[in-house]
Every structure is written in structure tokens, then in C-alpha cells.
A and B are shown apart, each in its own frame.
Chain A
Amino acid sequence: RKEVEQDPGPFNVPEGATVAFNCTYSNSASQSFFWYRQDCRKEPKLLMSVYSSGNEDGRFTAQLNRASQYISLLIRDSKLSDSATYLCVVNRGGNDMRFGAGTRLTVKP
């Protein structure tokens, strides 16, 4: 079993839709959590950090449930430019980062 598991996708949604991605992690000692975005054949870029209290950045909302070892990302009012692969990332401590395999999102007109 992988240490970080994500929805396999792909998700194909129309513009304006709301879409949610889920992620679970197995190492209960994990310290910090992130969502990264990766465009096709490009490098990953930080989308947002994830905090226990939940956090929002414009149309994006991230949630963390430490008890269930579960992370989520909600995208509201999807745009064509949101099409990408979204990577769930967990820091086990000491900068030892573990990445999920990613969930691919395609937003269609």
C-alpha cells in the first residue's frame, strides 16, 4: 500500500463545476501537508498548504483531518486553466516528502 493515496481520476468536469479531490496518508507521524499542481510535462508548483483548521485561497479550499489521516481539496467554479494534475504531498518530518501519484483534472468548455 502506498503511503499517500489519491483518487485515481481522471476527473472531467464542465466549466463552473465544483470538484473535490481526496487523499489519505498512512504515516500518523506526518507533520505537514500540501497540495501541488503539475501541468503536463512541467514541474510541480505549490498550490496551497493544508492546515488542521482548514484554509481557503480564492476558489480553492483545503481540509485536513488528522484523526482520519485524510486531506481534501475543493475547487469551486472550475476554470479551463484549472486543468492539471493535483498532487497530495505529506511531509513525514525532516523534509522527507511523500507524494501521491496525482489526480488528473480536465475542465471542459
Chain B
Amino acid sequence: DAGITQSPRYKITETGRQVTLMCHQTWSHSYMFWYRQDLGHGLRLIYYSAAADITDKGEVPDGYVVSRSKTENFPLTLESATRSQTSVYFCASSEGGEADTQYFGPGTRLTVL
């Protein structure tokens, strides 16, 4: 049972470059989420998706783009990376419902130079 995976696990890029972080889940969960985690801020929701082709902004969506053409994949793209986007990015999924458990992937550590 692979669960939820993220790739790459580590990424170093330069300011201005486009970067795509991948997230894949094998549970057929309806909901998927992208968070970033920074010291002093905790996890902050970037975007989430209730189903294929349905996405919504979270708390900090600026500078990010998402898509969800298939239920199992939820890629996050930084169209023009900035140093302030250096962070740990976590993808999560849940079956649905507001009281439902979210299961997190192992995270991607992104450094923007």
C-alpha cells in the first residue's frame, strides 16, 4: 500500500525558474491538499481540491498553480520561484468530510537560491 507519495523529496532551484512538485495517492481519496511549513508559521494551506477538476485557494495561494486532471495526482507548480518560497511542502489527502483525517505525504524540501 503506497499511500501518498511526493517527488522530488529534495529540490534546489534558482529564482525565476518554474518548479513542479508532484503528489500521488493510491487510496482514491476525494480531497487533496498542499501545505507549506515554515518555522514560526506552522503549516499553511496553499490550495486544495475536492475532486478531479475542482480546486480552491487556501490561505497562501499567491505564486502557486495547481491542477487535478486525475483523482490520484495533484501537482503544485511554482511558476517563477522566489526565495520566499523556500520551504517544506506537504501534500495530504482525505476521503472527505470536514471531520475526516488528513494523511500527509513525506514532504518536499525546496530551496530557492
Contacts and interface: CB of A to CB of B under 8 A. Distances in A.
Contacts of B33: 95, 97
Given A95-B33, A98-B45, A101-B41, A49 B90 contact: no
B25 to A, nearest CB: 13
Contacts of A49: 99, 101
A87 B106 contact: no
A53 B50 CA distance: 29
Contact of B42 (A32, A42, A95, A102): A102
Q: Chain B contact residues: over half helix, strand or loop, or mixed?
A: strand
Which range contains the number of B residues in contact with the other chain? 20 to 34
Interface string A72-109: 00000000000000010001011111111110000000
A26 B59 CA distance: 15
Interface of B: 31, 33, 35, 40-45, 48, 50, 56, 58-59, 90, 94, 98-99, 101-102, 104-107
Interface of A: 4, 31-32, 42-46, 49, 87, 91, 93-102
28 contacts: A31-B98, A31-B99, A32-B99, A42-B106, A42-B107, A43-B104, A44-B43, A44-B90, A44-B104, A46-B102, A49-B99, A49-B101, A87-B42, A87-B43, A91-B98, A93-B98, A95-B31, A95-B50, A96-B58, A97-B45, A97-B102, A98-B45, A98-B59, A99-B35, A99-B43, A100-B42, A101-B41, A102-B42
